[in-house]
Amino acid sequence: MKRSFHLKTILALALILSLVLPGTAIAQEETPVAADPELRLTTTYPSQVAELGESVTIRLNLQAIGASQTVQLEMDEIPEGWSATFRGGGRIIYAVHVSTEATESFDLRLDPPAGVEPGTYNFVVLARGQSLRAELPISLTIQERVPASLTFETDLPTIIGSPSTTFRYNATLKNEGDEELTVNLSADVPLGFLARFKVAGQETSSFPLGADESKNVVIELEPVVEVAAGSYPVTVFANSGEVQAVLNLNAEVTGQHNLSVSGLDGRLSGRAVAGEETTLQIVVSNTGTAAAQGVEMSATAPNGWTITFDPEVIAEIPAGQQVEVTAMLKPADQAIAGDYIVTVRARPAEGANKTTDFRITVSTSTLWGVIGLALIAVAVGVVAIAVMRFGRR
Amino acid sequence: MARQAKQRKREGSPWTGLGAVIAKEMADHLTSARMRILEILIVLTALGTGYAALQQLTGESNQDEFLFLRLFTTAREPLPAFAGFLGFLVPLVAIALAFDAINGEFNRRTLARVLSQPIYRDALLMGKFLGAFFTLALVLAAIWLLVFGIGLLGLGIPPSGEEVARALLFLLATIVYGGFWMVVALLFSILFRQAATAALASIAVWLFFTGFWNMLVSLAAQTLRPIQFGLPQEQIAQTELALLLSRFSPNTLFVEATVALLLPSVRTLGVILPFELQGAILGAPLPVGQSLLLIWPQLTGMIAAILLLFVLGYVSFQRREIRS
């Protein structure tokens, strides 16, 4: 009976096996590691390029085949100065628990040291489970970043002009970076100057500049006061966030004389008697920055007037000095009483002449008044003679 | 010769009794009905023209520097300006005051009685003239003050010193102008025995100068300086002759004096050529001294004419037989 049981069992097993085995053989082919537990640490992009100074976060995947386990994470190889942290679930992690057949994802964050050099850096991530380990080499190529940068250039950084010149510089501002920038222009201007910026003919101080775009910027430097001769350095800044471009300009101001004609104490009026010579004190002052040479005095006066100057020509008026000129003014003999305009002109050997109008009040001679009085005196005399001649008792 | 020597010899001053005659004359004039009528006439004129000018001046927005002077010169239809009114009222008043100065005494047969007092004929004639003259000056000054007062009340701004000086000189010119017509009337009152004849003669002279002289002047200028070729020189010569002749009329002299004194921007009264105005600032007022200088010939001419006419009258009066 016992043997027959065994036989029966064996037959049954054989039957079962004959039914089951072909399927088992297929399963063994599809998962050949099922029986061989191992850890798999992978990443999609194991070799990356990063920009200088940038932190890199890399997504890592961990698989534990065969046995679920807790895996310790560490860096097997890390270049000097770099720091690596693993992050998962919003926190820094040191270990990952991986279930069988599951894939856990977490981040590796690589922070470069402050003075990192461009180049290729190799990292090796080590995942250590119970008796199992997996390594993942990562290579990071640190590249010099193409920084947002501006260049500011001009062909003529030095312009020569007089104190009344508006110094106009044509500069080119170029955005060398990859982003659009909003550029602010400012200038460090010497005292007495006023800086203006014009882009496309419009006065502006702030404008957008697209990536790789360049614009012509006209920098106008206008002296607002009578600046002394000399060299005036001007620094123009183009700012956009942290990016700055500097343009050094120079305004060479040459001296210029600036004459003005006025009377003594600024009086622009005078008195004269018809047909009589009077003197008019005229002050020619040079408020400019250079001496005026050979200043010739002349005047436009009404018809019949004579005006002479002493001196006729002033050899030199140094800058900031004034010279007194005596004008001998003689209105026409028959000039009608009243106010007249006399235009006095100072003409330097070089440069524009300056004119000033003087208002001359002409009085007529009192000679006729005296004659009138004499006439009355004669008439009174006639009365007196008549009284003496015809007076009677 | 003996008679002449006797005539020349005088005892006492010709001024004796002059003050008394002037005082009596003025008293007579100021209380006379004739004077009252003239006063009323002139005061009404002053009030009327002053008020009209004021209306005109306050009606317009005015930036005139010499606003006060315009009180005398601003006319408002239908009334002429105050200065224009004076131009024909003053001669009338002056003539009215003096046309019967001497012949009136004759006709009332009071001359001999007056001269029997210790008063020379010189003093009588001088007193007659000065009495009337002072009366006229008094009346004109009163009217002047009246207009000035109206101006102060109406305009509400005080006149500047320049304006006061000009207005005073205008008053002086008016008085001198009145004096001229007064001495004309006085002369006729000596020459004609009838007061009416003297008055008519005076009025005739006045009318002649007011109405006919200008016509004669333009006629004479056109005849003596004809414009044959239409040259500018000819035109200037004719205009200058016309101006010269018209200045023989006291009316012209008075008008010119008024214009120069009351319009400070007037620079000259003669012919003005464009080149003379070159460089001139037009409209700029002259100082009062220069304006006075401008009309000085007019003023002195009138004063001299007064003195000479007075001498004529004086000589004629002294040579007259008055005892009949």
Domain count, chain A: 3
Separation of alpha carbons A270 and A280, rounded Å: 7
> Could you tell me where the DSSP H helices lie in chain A?
2-30, 367-390
Would B323 be classed as within a structural domain?
no
Domain count, chain B: 1
Q: Give contacts of A364 with chain B, Cβ < 8 Å.
A: 290, 293-294
pLDDT above 50: residue B6 = no
Domain co-membership, A237 together with A316:
no
Q: At what angle do helices B82-98 and B195-207 cross, to 10 degrees?
A: 150
Separation of alpha carbons B4 and A263, rounded Å: 69
Domain co-membership, A312 together with A219:
no
Q: B126 with B23: CB under 8 angstroms?
A: no
Q: Give the three-state DSSP class for A115.
A: coil
Domain co-membership, A287 together with A223:
no
Would A59 be classed as within a structural domain?
yes
Q: A108 with A143: CB under 8 angstroms?
A: no
Q: A60 with A39: CB under 8 angstroms?
A: no
Q: Give contacts of A375 with chain B, Cβ < 8 Å.
A: 300-301, 304
Domain co-membership, A194 together with A133:
no
Domain co-membership, A300 together with A216:
no
Is A391 in Cβ contact with B318 (below 8 Å)? yes
Could you say which residues of chain A have pLDDT below 70? 1-35, 145-147, 391-393
**A40 residue type, one letter:** R
**Nearest residue to B53 via CA among B25, B73, B27, B37:** B73
Write down the residue that tokens 């002086």 correspond to.
B172
Return the pLDDT at B168.
Answer: 92
Write down the residue that tokens 């028959």 correspond to.
A334
CATH code at position A171: 2.60.40.10
Separation of alpha carbons A98 and A65, rounded Å: 9
Q: Is the bond preceding residue A147 a cis peptide, omega within 30 degrees?
A: no
- Burial (Cβ within 10 Å: 0-12, 13-18, ≥19) of residue A240: buried
Domain co-membership, A92 together with A190:
no
Separation of alpha carbons A190 and A55, rounded Å: 44
pLDDT above 70: residue B99 = yes
Mutate which of B11, B119, B278, B294 to test chain A, going by most A C-beta atoms within 10 A? Answer: B278
In chain A, which residue's Cα lies nearest the Cα of B269? A336
Return the pLDDT at B187.
Answer: 94
Would A20 be classed as within a structural domain?
no
**Nearest residue to B147 via CA among B262, B1, B299:** B262
Is A392 in Cβ contact with B318 (below 8 Å)? yes
In this prediction, residues B71-79 reach a mean pLDDT of 76
Residue by residue, DSSP assigns A228-272 as: PSEEEEEEEEEEETTEEEEEEEEEEEPP---EEEEEGGG--EEEE
Return the pLDDT at A29.
Answer: 46
Residue B108's domain comprises 13-203+286-318
Q: What are phi and psi of A20, to 5 degrees?
A: -85, -40
Q: The tokens of B39 are what? A: 């006063």
Q: Give contacts of A382 with chain B, Cβ < 8 Å.
A: 307-308, 311
**Nearest residue to A95 via CA among A79, A71, A116:** A71
Residue A215's domain comprises 150-253
Is A302 in Cβ contact with B267 (below 8 Å)? no
Q: The tokens of A55 are what? A: 């932190």
Which residues numbered 233-292 in B keep a CB inside 8 Å of some CB on A? Answer: 267-268, 272, 275-281, 284, 286-287, 289-290
Would B8 be classed as within a structural domain?
no
Would B256 be classed as within a structural domain?
no
Q: Give contacts of B311 with chain A, Cβ < 8 Å.
A: 379, 382-383, 386
Shortest distance between the Cα of B320 and any Cα of chain A, in A, equals: 11
Mutate which of B290, B317, B323 to test chain A, going by most A C-beta atoms within 10 A? Answer: B290
pLDDT above 60: residue B39 = yes
Q: B208 with B214: CB under 8 angstroms?
A: no
Domain co-membership, A246 together with A312:
no
Separation of alpha carbons A316 and B111, rounded Å: 87
Separation of alpha carbons B132 and B145, rounded Å: 20
- Ranges A48-62, A68-82, B103-117, B170-184, most confident: B170-184
CA gyration radius, chain A: 52
What is the Cβ-side half-sphere exposure of residue B81, based on CA atoms within 13 angstroms?
15
Separation of alpha carbons A222 and A192, rounded Å: 8
Is B286 in Cβ contact with A338 (below 8 Å)? yes
Sorted by sequence, the CB contacts under 8 Å of residue A297 that are 6+ apart come out as: A282, A284, A309, A311, A312, A313, A314, A325, A327, A344, A345, A346, A347
Separation of alpha carbons B281 and B277, rounded Å: 8
Q: The tokens of A318 are what? A: 């140094």
Q: Give the three-state DSSP class for A284.
A: strand
Domain co-membership, A161 together with A137:
no
Return the pLDDT at B205.
Answer: 94
Return the pLDDT at A13.
Answer: 52
Last residue in a domain, options A121, A143, A165 = A143
Would B301 be classed as within a structural domain?
yes
Would B38 be classed as within a structural domain?
yes
Q: The tokens of A329 are what? A: 């003014």
Separation of alpha carbons A106 and A94, rounded Å: 11
Return the pLDDT at A10.
Answer: 58
Is A368 in Cβ contact with B268 (below 8 Å)? no
Is B293 in Cβ contact with A363 (below 8 Å)? yes
pLDDT above 70: residue B131 = yes
Q: A329 with A309: CB under 8 angstroms?
A: no
Give the one of B11, B268, B276 whose C-beta lies nearest to A393's C-beta: B11
Shortest distance between the Cα of A314 and any Cα of chain B, in A, equals: 26
In this prediction, residues B90-96 reach a mean pLDDT of 90
Q: What are phi and psi of A237, to 5 degrees?
A: -110, 135
Is A391 in Cβ contact with B122 (below 8 Å)? yes
Is B10 in Cβ contact with A392 (below 8 Å)? yes
Residue by residue, DSSP assigns B226-260 as: --SS--HHHHHHHHHHHHHHHTTSHHHHHHHHHHH
Q: Give contacts of B303 with chain A, Cβ < 8 Å.
A: 376, 379
pLDDT band for position B204 (50/70/90)?
A: very high
Separation of alpha carbons B183 and B189, rounded Å: 10
In chain B, which residue's Cα lies nearest the Cα of A338? B286
Give the one of A338, A391, A392 whose C-beta lies nearest to B267's C-beta: A338
Q: At what angle do helices B288-318 and A367-390 cross, to 10 degrees?
A: 10
Entry field: residues in chain A: 393
Would B108 be classed as within a structural domain?
yes
Last residue in a domain, options A253, A287, A316 = A253
In this prediction, residues B307-320 reach a mean pLDDT of 88
DSSP H helix total and E strand total for chain B: 14, 0
Q: Give contacts of A336 with chain B, Cβ < 8 Å.
A: 267-268, 272, 276-277, 280
Would A31 be classed as within a structural domain?
no
Would B258 be classed as within a structural domain?
no
Is B281 in Cβ contact with A341 (below 8 Å)? yes
Return the pLDDT at A14.
Answer: 52
* Segment among A53-57, B182-186, B220-224 with least mean pLDDT: A53-57
Q: B235 with B273: CB under 8 angstroms?
A: no
What is the Cβ-side half-sphere exposure of residue A104, based on CA atoms within 13 angstroms?
24
Last residue in a domain, options A93, A118, A143 = A143
For the stretch B227-247, pLDDT in tens is: 888 888 888 888 888 888 888
Would B43 be classed as within a structural domain?
yes
Q: Give contacts of B289 with chain A, Cβ < 8 Å.
A: 363
Q: Give contacts of A301 with chain B, Cβ < 8 Å.
A: 279
Q: Give contacts of B11 with chain A, Cβ < 8 Å.
A: 393
Q: The tokens of A68 are what? A: 């679920």
Separation of alpha carbons A382 and B312, rounded Å: 10
Shortest distance between the Cα of B317 and any Cα of chain A, in A, equals: 9
* Segment among A212-216, A323-327, B215-219, B319-323 with least mean pLDDT: B319-323
Does B72 contact A at CB distance below 8 Å? no
Q: Kindly give the pairing relationship between strand A306-310 and strand A259-263.
A: unpaired
Sorted by sequence, the CB contacts under 8 Å of residue A312 that are 6+ apart come out as: A296, A297
Separation of alpha carbons A175 and A185, rounded Å: 14
Mutate which of B16, B261, B292, B318 to test chain A, going by most A C-beta atoms within 10 A? Answer: B318
Q: Give contacts of B267 with chain A, Cβ < 8 Å.
A: 336-338
Q: Give contacts of B272 with chain A, Cβ < 8 Å.
A: 336
Of the two residues B13 and A185, the one the predictor is more confident about is A185
User: What does the mean pLDDT of chain B come to?
Assistant: 84
From residue A84, how far is each of A115, B41, B106 by CA, in Å? Answer: 16, 123, 149
